[in-house]
Amino acid sequence: MSPRSKIFRKVVSPPPIKGFKPYGGERAEENLPLVSIQFEEYEALRLCDYDMYNHHQASVLMGVSRPTFTRIYASAREKIARAFVEARQISVEGGKVYFDSDWYHCSGCCCYFNNPEKENSIETCPLCGSKETEEYEMDSAVRETVNTRINDKCVCPACGLEIEHHPGKPCNQEICPACNIKMSRKGESVHGNRKRGIR
Amino acid sequence: MKTAITSTGNTPQAVMDSKFGRCCYFAIYNSESKSVEYLPNPYHDAEDNAGTEAVRLLAKKNVSRIISGEFGLKIKPLLDSMKIQMIVVGSPGKKIVEIIEMLNQNTGK
């Protein structure tokens, strides 16, 4: 039986280079087989260790499940560690990915456009030059779930007091200091009916 | 900077083609020399892969953005990896000359 096919991983910004070479020392001169890092592993490392997202946020951004993301990330670190220790070249190539960029909408000329160069932010419409541009909601919906995950708050159902939510500690274990009752997550009426934001 | 606009004809008065891969002509506008080159689309009647072949053709011409009415499913990841910007014009029936005028105003500011 063939294994289950992998779903495509979203890569927002492709790496600017194709690989790394070791230098100095005797082993750098030997032609050891290179370590091949896939695009999705590069992206996982970028999201986690460069952009400082946690695994759940990064998995939403890449369009995979959290456990899958953690596996990709672990594999990236293992490969990089091997390349460092064994003085091997690193090449970034391949992988089951698709490249993506955000859509923008201009209300001046009713056009949609994307921004393939993520480093430069969009301010004016490339067609009519108007400043009436905004990010299109398709991707901002994903971003919203990511942002609300960061700004989660626990709220007291009786007095409405809000305290910052600590990841890993369920809100119903927090006790409201004023009313002395269990708190709940802000913005959630029914527990367990949570919008996951994973597509 | 070169901009490709999908066109139904090879004159400035032609209307923009709403299809990308199977458009009749590509009008390639060079904003430095203000010149327009009309390129007949060889994949106009292609059975399949018209879009991806058209992208390859335009990438060879060093186009940095493409203006069209709609793009196929395979096009966006391809253009993203080549760092080519896509602009989808919502209102149909715009003439090539009107679009070039808009681009000129934009850079003139």
Q: How far apart are CA A61 and CA A37, in angstroms?
A: 20
Amino acid at A134: E
Average pLDDT of span B23-29: 89
Cα angle for residues B106, B108, B109 (degrees, 5° grid): 75
Which of B76, B83, B106 faces A126 most closely, judged by CB atoms? B106
Quick: pLDDT tens for A177-197: 888 888 887 765 444 444 444
Which of B85, B102, B107 faces A113 most closely, judged by CB atoms? B85
Average pLDDT of span A62-84: 93
Which of B85, B89, B106 faces A114 most closely, judged by CB atoms? B85
Q: Give the pTM.
A: 0.56
**Beta-bridge partner residues of A184:** A155
pLDDT at residue A195, as a whole number: 46
Interface of A with B (CB under 8 A): 14, 98-101, 109-117, 124-129
User: What's the DSSP call for residue A171?
Assistant: G
Contacts of B56 (CB under 8 A, 6+ apart): none
Average pLDDT of span A27-44: 84
Q: Do B76 and A112 touch (CB under 8 A)?
A: no
Quick: pLDDT tens for B31-72: 888 888 888 888 888 888 888 888 888 888 888 888 888 887
Residue that wins the pLDDT comparison between B109 and A65: A65
pLDDT at residue A111, as a whole number: 78
| Mean per-residue pLDDT over chain A, rounded | 77
B55 by DSSP, 3-state: which?
helix
